[in-house]
Amino acid sequence: MNVKVFKLIPEEDIKNKVKELADRISKDYLNKELILIGILKGAFVFLADLMRNLTIPSSCDFIKVSSYGKSTESSGIVKIVADISMPIEDKDILLVEDIVDTGLTLQYLINHLSLKKPKSIKICALLDKPERHKIEIPIDYLGFTIPNKFVVGYGIDYDEKFRYLPYIGYIEINGEE
């Protein structure tokens, strides 16, 4: 199988956008107890950079879900592989996602986390693909809107490959997008 990667969002643009998002979040959550919950595995690089750019105290946890497998299309079936480990009752939660595709994963996670009675849940996503939405999820902090291409890099993978890229690229497999 021949996979080619084409650059979509340069590393410098990502760094600038992460700083901008962190500044807004720091302002909005000043004097609040913020917990960032990263959605694994794709959001771990974004969450780490975002947290390092915050100017407020915060803590983090992770939740691991599965909906893709080895495909470039979401199966639409979301399952929690590993749940958060810290209590979030009466806490402000920022769910940190790499990419909003159909919206089904985020809807599932919001419903799941709401059962744990947080004070608030907001969404921070690096990327959004509006063309693919099956349901609309409000994204409180958004990095970039992208076209309907399968993206990799900056923590996002295709079959566990390409997470290491410092930029966001899109892939073509065997010459087809």
Residue 167 belongs to some domain of the structure: no
Residue 175 belongs to some domain of the structure: no
Residue 49 belongs to some domain of the structure: yes
Q: What is the pTM of this model?
A: 0.91
Q: Within 13 Å of residue 64, how many CA atoms lie on the same side as its CB? A: 6
Contact 1, 176 (CB under 8 A): no
Contacting residues for 153 by C-beta, under 8 A, at least 6 apart: 5, 162, 163, 164, 165, 166, 167, 168, 169
Give residue-wise pLDDT tens across range 50-100.
999 999 999 999 999 987 555 555 556 788 999 999 999 999 999 999 999
DSSP category for residue 134: S
Residue 3 belongs to some domain of the structure: no
What is the amino acid identity at position 66? Answer: S
Residue 162 belongs to some domain of the structure: no
Over residues 153-164, mean pLDDT: 94
Contact 155, 138 (CB under 8 A): no
Residue 28 belongs to some domain of the structure: yes
The pLDDT value recorded for residue 173 is 85
Domain CATH code at residue 17: 3.40.50.2020
Residue 47 belongs to some domain of the structure: yes
Core vs surface per residue 63-80: b (16+ CB within 10 A) or e: bebebbeeeeebeeebee
The residue segments making up the domain with residue 15 are 10-148
Asked if 28 is an active-site residue, the reply is no
Count of domains observed in the chain: 1
Q: Which of 101, 128, 157, 159 is catalytic?
A: 101
Give residue-wise pLDDT tens across range 108-118.
999 999 999 99
Residue 139 belongs to some domain of the structure: yes
